Structure 1
Amino acid sequence: MLRDLTLLQFRSHRRAQLVFDGRPVALYGPNGAGKTSVIEAVSLLSPGRGLRRASAEELIRRQEAVGWKIRATLDENEIETSALPGQSRSVLIDDKPAPQVALGRLARVLWLVPSMDRLWIEGAEGRRRFLDRMTMAFVPAHAEAVVAYEKAMRERNRLLKEGVSDAAWYGALESQMAEAGAAIRVARVQTLARLAAAQAGAATAFPSADLAITGDDAGDLAAAWAGERRRDMAAGRTLEGPHRADLEAIYAEKATPAAQCSTGEQKALLISLLLANARALAGETCLLLLDEVAAHLDAGRRAALYDEICALGAQVMMTGTGAELFESLGARGQYWRVTEEGGMSTVTEVGP
């Protein structure tokens, strides 16, 4: 459970302190007040660049420009992540330096933000990132495998662009990529199986999705790369492998590809997958971040969403422009009003 959160010089927040009691959290206020920044800070309690994929420099509050810091108590662990101007972010766990990937073992952090509304109709990169975030929730070591794979691939791509023909050098890198790539493939397939099981028979108001991984043919990766070096050299990059995978979703009840569904159906599928992911993580520390999710649902669907959220073991944080969007959540939720004046955000706890 996330017990408390402190933001220092983060985005528009000079200082904000929030204490949580385990109930679903609703943050509301006008656009631009700093609501999303609060849940973005929570997303940085996991590996990576957070829900807005911002660089460490972009997170600094501009008025002082002295760097930013986030502190949190997660279960029994004290976490601090921060960055000074011009530096990458650092992580402390219980006052000891730690790599970002270590955060993935403490909590599973999932999110849905408005920019993901077009996930099913835009490029494969966003869907692959979505798949890997869900996979990391089940297999924290997945983050390390992805980092290892991408590091070796960047070096291989450098050799390709420079026209290097040293077979031994390529072989060593391709061996590293193959080892990490095999782990990535296995973890992704296991994730789809767990999501399918979590969707099967679930009492939910949201549609189920049949999922499949495409664009990454099974086979001997090292042998494939060795045989395609000439082609890859002409392209200046690695053309096959797990980094080319895509996530395909079918609206199960209608047997319709997600890309051909209505905007509302596409959104409902995303919500359904996040709920299934959280449901499958029962017993784990799971944080579910839903940015402006209520604004896209009618009153009935909002009420159904809140009922499902309250039935989950996950800790859920939501944002919205007004308290009325959370009316059907009632006393089951914990409420914070976010306001902004003169470039500084303020967060105040209020009653339902």
Structure 2
Amino acid sequence: MTRLCLTDLTLSHFRSHVAVRLELDGRPVAIFGPNGAGKTNILEAISMLSPGRGLRRAAAEDIARKPEALGWRVGAVLTSLHQIHEIDTRSQAGGPRSVTIDGKSAPQVALGRIARMQWLVPSMDRLWIEGAEGRRRFLDRMVLSFEPGHADAVLTYEKAMRERNRLLKDQVRDSGWYGALEAQMAQAGAVIQRNRSQVLDRLAAAQDGAETAFPSAELAITMPDADAPEGEAALKQALADGRARDLAAGRTLTGPHRADLAAIYSAKAVPAAQCSTGEQKALLISLILANARALAQDFGAPPILLLDEVAAHLDAGRRAALYDEICALGAQAFMTGTGPELFADLGDRAQYFSVTEADGISRVEPRTAP
């Protein structure tokens, strides 16, 4: 089977971990221990092997273990399809984060070309009932798993929008100052729109006909304005036409940064926001699994999954079904929970590690199957 997995992971001065090395064999990984022991820190470290600020969106200087503040490092050996890569990412004493791949300096976006990841953390349990920003971020993370270049489009768009917003707040009215920025926003915004739409189509196809214990969702991208512009030319014209309104607001009110992700629980025809807590969690897991199935076809292997406290709000039946689906996909999933009994249904299909904490230092030890 073609694989995407970590076979070696090392952490140095990463949050509560002084020094950790995990030898991995590609099977799912169950990490258990009491709250606050440092389980999520391991998942966050792995998430730094992908583009962006990781699953906590923390600044590089906030990750280094205190009080030493020496900086931090995450190293890994990655099997990606038929190649093996050595990855190193670190930040020295509050400096910027650096990345090397196979001994050569590389931009963060290069990580997305060799390692695809998707994650689910407890804060996302409220995804469907909180603001649109979290749902956009969730959608863009799925897009990134297919299109690593999506990060460049988002960065270009956001940088130009920040400059435009500065002009708006300063009440600059000279149209010459806006033209170049709006052209950049329109070009990058059209790419963002296209990438998001294509990924929703892929997710829909991955859900159709899939036999799974998790409910399917009908997804759609919505905008505050019914006649929101689509495409580069329409975006550019809408930004120009909206200057007066944006000047009054002091910010840009048109564009893909206003998008929202809507979901309907297909079997019940109920919006996700109106579903029970357990149903909302099941819908999230369903989308993660659909993402993995689609990526297995598109990239050639399912993504590495980071599932923090994944057993929360799942009954025993769905928990066992989740493990079966992960194993059937052939995905390397890193899962955390408070006790080994939560992973009993995995049996010998997984590796197990316990995490404990004493005097502010986390310790990780391999364990046998529960």
TM-score when normalising by structure 1: 0.98
Task: Return 5+ residue gaps in structure 2 as ranges.
Answer: none
> 2: CA distance between counterparts of 1:166 and 1:19?
60
Structure 2 counterpart of 1:181, from 162, 165, 189: 189
Q: How does 1:285-296 map to 2 (within 5 A)?
A: 286-296=303-313
* Count, aligned residues: 352
- Residue 65 of structure 1 aligns with an amino acid whose one-letter code is A
What amino acid sits opposite 1:5 in the alignment?
L
Is contact 1:279–1:313 with CA below 8 Å preserved after alignment?
Answer: no
Q: Distance in 2 between matches of 1:208 and 1:41?
A: 31
Is the counterpart of residue 28 in structure 1 residue 35 in structure 2?
Answer: no
1:17 maps to which residue? 21
Instruction: For 1:73 and 1:164, locate their aligned partners in 2 and report how far apart those are by CA, in whole Å.
Output: 51
Q: Distance in 2 between matches of 1:296 and 1:87?
A: 39
1:78, 1:95 within 8 Å by CA — same for their partners in 2?
yes
- Provide Cα deviations, 1:28-87, integer angstroms capped at 9, x if missing partner: 111111110001111111111111111112111003111111111122121111112332
Distance in 2 of aligned mates of 1:284 and 1:236: 45
Aligned equivalent of 1:331:
348
Aligned to 2:245: 231
1:19 Cα deviation after fit: 1.4
SS at match of 1:69: strand
Cα separation, 1, equivalents of 2:129 and 2:303:
28
**1:226 aligns to what SS in structure 2?**
helix
Q: Hey, what does 1:206 align to over in structure 2?
A: 214
SS in 1 for 2:166: helix
1:38 has 2:52 as partner:
no
Maintained 8 Å contact 1:160/1:236:
yes
Q: Does residue 1:310 correspond to 2:327, yes or no?
A: yes
Task: Please show how residues 122-271 of structure 1 align to structure 2 within 5 Å.
Answer: 122-215=130-223, 217-219=228-230, 220-271=234-285
| Secondary structure in structure 1 of the residue aligned to 2:312 | helix
**Do 1:107 and 1:285's aligned partners in 2 also have CA atoms closer than 8 Å?**
no
Kindly indicate whether the alpha-carbon contact (under 8 Å) linking 2:64 and 2:70 is maintained by their aligned counterparts in 1.
yes
Q: Deviations over 1:214-247 (max 9, x none)?
A: 0172330000000111211121111110000000
Q: Cα distance, 1:159 vs. partner?
A: 1.3
SS of corresponding position for 1:64? coil
Using a 3 Å threshold, how does the CA distance of structure 1 residues 90 and 66 change in structure 2: closer, same or farther? Answer: same
TM-superposed CA distance for 1:164, in Å, is: 2.0
Distance 2:242 2:229 in 1: 16
Task: Give the corresponding residue for 1:90.
Answer: 98
Indicate if the aligned counterparts of 1:47 and 1:101 stay in contact, CA closer than 8 A. Answer: yes
Gaps of 5+ in 1: none
Q: Give the aligned partner of residue 297 of structure 1.
A: 314
Secondary structure of the structure 2 residue equivalent to 1:348:
strand
- Deviation string, structure 1 residues 106-151 (Cα, Å, up to 9, x no partner): 1111100100110000000000000000011111111111111111
2:151 aligned counterpart, secondary structure = helix
Q: Secondary structure at the match of 2:273?
A: helix
8 A contact 1:14–1:344 mirrored in 2:
yes
**Quick one: percent identity of the two aligned structures?**
69
Report deviation, 1:285: 5.6
